[in-house]
């Protein structure tokens, strides 16, 4: 076999392997590779102080429990203190080494900007440091684009974008002062694709990518060392739909997910997210078929992705009607 034939063979085989991986994996190829061969989560997170917002349910709760297994010190925040205490107790039961002082329950309304600095001061007073901020707080949406009230757009952006930016700016200044730290931001595949019937939510996630891509470049220009990981899950089993925004101000969607839905478990999502953070990936995607594959198409074949999005929209509409 001559060199040209060998090169073509390797190229074709490599391409086929790449396509197979895209079709079969539940995360982007790099995240999956690091989950198998990357840093040990036990060694990386042991004794690190990690602050998780939106930690009372769903992905945030799963992140806290996964971190408890890896001996991290936790700050868990949300508005519902009873749920936070439940999560804390379950984390302690999962870990054989954590003590009560290793988990700080810190109730926080993210839209109360004036409380952010005080909350962060409590974190530093309790642990003396912070290593990683995981910005997970936020809400989803189900609504027809043309029916969304302007106040809904403002309220959703206030929670999903502006409150997050306000807290991250406070923490970033601290990271600059100590010369270390890590910002992790929970986005969505909706931040990479135009997800139908979720316009305000999709717009808020796109906005996060713009803000933090800008920050990443600013950090590089200042020669600072503060990695940023943007996490993009697809549909996940959680209670997020019940409290999702609709088109009307003050209204909640009120519909739970079904056991038969094709969704990733919150536990798997948390594990892959923590893999991305530990290995300082700039972005990691995780979802079951076809949402992950649609995200690839939106980057490499946007026309085909657009056609598939239309088919998805028809499916979502039919589901809402039922």
What residues are labeled active site?
A: 201
Is residue 183 classed as helix, strand or coil in its secondary structure? strand
Residue 244 in tokens? 């999702």
What's 25-66 look like in SS3?
CCECHHHHHHHHHCCCHHHHHCCCEEEEECCCCHHHHHHHHH
Residues whose CB is less than 8 angstroms from the CB of residue 36 and which lie 6 or more positions away in sequence, other chains included: none
- Report residue 268 as tokens: 């798997």
Distance (Å, whole) CA 190 – CA 194: 6
Helix (H, G, I), strand (E, B) or coil at 75: strand
**What would the DSSP string read from start to end of 207-253?**
HHHHHHHHHHHHHHHTT----EEEEEE-SBSSSTTTT-B-SSTT-B-
| Residues with Cβ within 8 Å of residue 303, at least 6 apart in sequence | none
| C-alpha–C-alpha distance, residues 204 and 280, integer Å | 23
Q: Distance (Å, rounded) from C-alpha 238 to C-alpha 268?
A: 12
How far, in whole angstroms, is CA 161 from its chain's centroid?
A: 13
* Dihedral Cα 113, 117, 122, 127, nearest 10 deg: 120
To which H or E segment does residue 73 belong? Answer: strand 73-77
SS3 135: strand
């Amino acid at each position: 076999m001559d060199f040209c034939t060998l090169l073509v063979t390797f190229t074709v085989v490599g391409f086929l392997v790449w396509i197979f991986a895209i079709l079969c994996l539940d995360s982007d190829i790099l995240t999956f590779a690091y989950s198998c061969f990357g840093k040990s989560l036990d060694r990386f997170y042991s004794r690190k102080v990690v602050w998780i917002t939106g930690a009372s349910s769903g992905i945030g709760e799963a992140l806290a429990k996964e971190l408890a297994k890896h001996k991290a010190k936790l700050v868990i925040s949300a508005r519902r203190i009873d749920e936070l205490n439940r999560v804390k107790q379950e984390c302690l039961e999962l870990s054989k080494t954590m003590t009560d002082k290793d988990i700080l329950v810190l109730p926080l309304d993210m839209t109360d900007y004036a409380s952010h600095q005080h909350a962060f001061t409590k974190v530093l007073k309790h642990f003396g440091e912070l290593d990683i901020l995981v910005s997970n707080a936020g809400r989803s949406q189900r609504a027809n684009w043309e029916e969304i009230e302007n106040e809904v757009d403002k309220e959703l952006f206030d929670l999903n974008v502006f409150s997050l930016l306000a807290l991250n700016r406070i923490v970033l200044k601290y990271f600059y002062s100590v010369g270390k730290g890590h910002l992790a931001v929970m986005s969505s595949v909706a931040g990479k694709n135009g997800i139908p019937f979720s316009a305000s939510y999709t717009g808020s996630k796109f906005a996060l990518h713009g803000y933090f891509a800008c920050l990443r470049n600013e950090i590089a220009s200042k020669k600072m060392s503060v990695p940023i990981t943007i996490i993009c899950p697809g549909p996940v089993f959680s209670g997020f739909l019940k409290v999702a925004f609709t088109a009307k101000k003050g209204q909640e969607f009120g519909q739970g997910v079904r056991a038969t839905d094709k969704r990733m478990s919150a536990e798997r999502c948390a594990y892959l997210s923590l893999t991305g953070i530990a290995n300082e990936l700039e972005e990691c995607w995780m979802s079951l078929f076809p949402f992950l594959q649609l995200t690839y198409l939106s980057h490499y074949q946007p026309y085909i992705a657009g056609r598939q999005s239309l088919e998805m929209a028809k499916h979502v509409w039919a589901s809402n009607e039922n």
